[in-house]
Amino acid sequence: MHAFSIGPYHIPHPVMLAPMAGVTDRPFRQMCRNLGASFVVSEMLSCDLSLLKTAKTQFRMNHEGEPGPIAVQIAGAEPKTLAEAALFNQQNGAQIIDINMGCPQKKVAKKKCGSALMAYPDLVAEICQAAVTAVDIPVTLKTRLGVDSDNQNILEIAQIAEQSGIKALFIHGRTKAQKFKGSADFKLIKQAKAAVSIPVIANGDIDTPEKAQAVLEITGCDGIMIGRAAQGNPWIFKQIQHYLETGTHCAKPTHQEIVDVMYQHVKNLHNFYGEFTGCRMARKHIKWFLKGLQLDPITRQIMKIEQAEEQLKFIQNNLIHKVA
């Protein structure tokens, strides 16, 4: 299992955390890193610097106490504003800038941002060049296969990215039109990997160690990114890494481990966002953690709790001390 680098940053193993809006905040990134992710990327930040004062953006820009490299993802459609945002984030502590051309969501795509940009190769070149020129840290690019099944131009985009000075390419194996439906297609990622010499990382539907190994073998990629499969299962990074190295499965986390890590994560969310917002943010994470534990009545009860302290107390009384 080979390591690789993004610019001067050594990536020790190929199992990375994919950026997900509303999920990969600082507490989630820290948890995934502690449990084996080799690389993490912030939630998407808008290039609109007028939004800097909003609470949402302030939380997304917070990297205190995180180990490097600090990778910040930015989204926009104008080369000039993307370049300004890249420079601003470098000055704010970013060590790698990632440009988002992968988000398929309507509110992003309708502004000609995210994966909608793949329909405009010349603009992609301008954006990449502007960002690369604006900063003296590595710039990476996150894309999809194209806008729809008739316009899968990832090969052209990959070559444009490399020529523009992009240092690594993260490719989700679906088109913009697919969003998260259907299956990820890794054949085109394989072709893109063969067409460039920069590191290429595959993303999409990788949810088991076997799938991870198969995707690496099919594509020849340098790494893989885990997204939704890490929700409620941050152990997946170690599980995949262990399997890639040994061909065997490591022990699954016990009920106790799952509840302990969940408790700590909920606590971190409260500390990060404050009790009111933290309590609400924690609900979806609690749901993800408890999904496999067949504790439906308890899950339903905990979803109704309005206070942070009560949330933690409930976990302690009903889960930590009750789970064998």
- Return the active site residues: 103
Q: Closest Cα partner for 156 from 168, 167, 143?
A: 143
3-state SS, residue 141: strand
Residue 186 to residue 22: CA distance in whole angstroms = 26
* Dihedral of alpha carbons 318, 34, 41, 212, sign: negative
Residue 168 to residue 74: CA distance in whole angstroms = 15
In the chain, what is the straight-line distance between the N-terminal and C-terminal CA atoms, in Å? 36
Rg (Cα) of the chain, in Å, rounded?
20
Residue 81 to residue 79: CA distance in whole angstroms = 6
261, amino acid identity? V
